[in-house]
Amino acid sequence: MYDFFKQMSETNHTVLILDDDHILAKMMADFLVISAHCTVDLTLREVDFWTAYHAKQYDLIFMDYRLTEITGLEILEKLSKKTAGGQITKSVWSKLKFF
């Protein structure tokens, strides 16, 4: 059986999540903390995302595609202009709706 509390490696990766759906974002953050032992910062709005982004170096960023006032792709475009040498991994994610 897998020991979820055993550290996988000495490296602790930092992850930034931007999603306006707090429950989905928290679920993703909890998954990353438990399964990959990452340090996760969770943001719900673009302004909070930029504050967190400028506060520390992140190894990975997850963001929702459909946000209230902007899309994840628009933020990625801004991020690409600000990131020198592409030193950060970018990922856009969106939840699916089933009817």
- For the chain, the domains span 14-93
Percent of the chain surpassing pLDDT 70: 73
Under CATH, to which class is 14-93 assigned?
Answer: alpha beta
Q: Which has the closest alpha carbon to 61: 21, 28, 84?
A: 28
* pLDDT of amino acid 53: 92
Residue 30: partners with Cβ closer than 8 Å, 6 or more residues away: none
Tens of pLDDT, residues 43-84: 999 999 999 999 998 888 888 878 888 888 888 888 877 775
Exposed e or buried b for every residue in 57-93, given b needs 16+ CB within 10 A? ebebbbbbeebeeeebeebbeebeeeeeeeebeeebe
Between residues 93 and 54, the one the model is more confident about: 54
